[in-house]
Structure 1
């Protein structure tokens, strides 16, 4: 990676939606050269994707961790249920007294409650504990 590649990456990190024309003007290369460099960086896995950073308004969204215990645990039955809820931000099957920890972020308390009620219907569920997040993550 040379200085042009580093500058292109820095510009894409700053704003991945800017046009190749804008980037080419800022790094003083032709559009075709910038396009080729970006393509090469993607192929090498240096650029792994382009993402939207979304701001959730802390006054309207709520978050909680749910710790779940199953008897017996049937991971193949549970995974599709977890994947079906878009509000689940992370899911971890763990060892010890708990079987699964979920981080859930919902638009409001009513939706978070509905998700919690739904979890009570999951197969082999023994216990669900809710741990409310008091401060949004920064």
Structure 2
């Protein structure tokens, strides 16, 4: 299935605000409510839209974020998937190319909790190296 300009615009609008009504989306892209509904349903069924999420603001100056780059020996991303799934603080997990095998974005309510998570990662199977990259400020967020 190819996404046309309307599908791409619908996705962009949903990323911007997933709570806006189908009617509002239709008005913005000049399609009927039923046409937008059909397109959204089709994109959900085909796996282009996989869900609608609330972004949580911890509401505290103590909230911290960090990227963790993880290298395995031997490679075992599938083996540690249950560990990743068990941590609600993991917001993104990507297998990547290069010297690093996995990149995780973790958002925690405190530095203490972030340190606990980092310590847990050291216990995951086949972990050869974990590097922590602290987020100093947010420049753009579309997740």
Report the TM range for the smaller structure's normalisation: 0.5 to 0.7
Which of 29, 40, 43 aligns to 2:41? It is: 43
Residue of structure 2 in register with 1:109 after alignment: 111
Q: Does 1:66 align with 2:64?
A: no
**Structure 2 CA distance for aligned equivalents of residues 123 and 50 of structure 1:** 32
**What secondary structure, in the 3-state scheme, does the structure 2 residue paired with 1:98 have?**
coil
In structure 1, distance between residues paired with 2:53 and 2:111? 27
Q: Secondary structure at the match of 1:79?
A: helix
Who is 1:86 aligned against?
Answer: 88
Task: Tell me the TM-score normalised to structure 1 length.
Answer: 0.65
Spell out, residue by residue over 1:59-116, the C-alpha distance to the aligned partner (whole angstroms, 9 max, x if none). 1310011111111112221112112111111111122211111111101101100000
For 1:50 and 1:66, the matched residues in 2 are separated by 25
Q: CA RMSD in A?
A: 3.3
Larger Rg: 1
| Ranges in structure 2 where 5+ consecutive residues have no aligned partner | 1-9, 28-32
Query: Where do 5+ consecutive residues of structure 1 fail to align?
Result: 1-8, 28-33
2:126 corresponding residue in structure 1:
124
Paired positions, count: 119
Maintained 8 Å contact 1:58/1:136: no
Superposed structure 1 runs of 4+ greater than 2 Å apart = 12-20, 36-46, 48-58
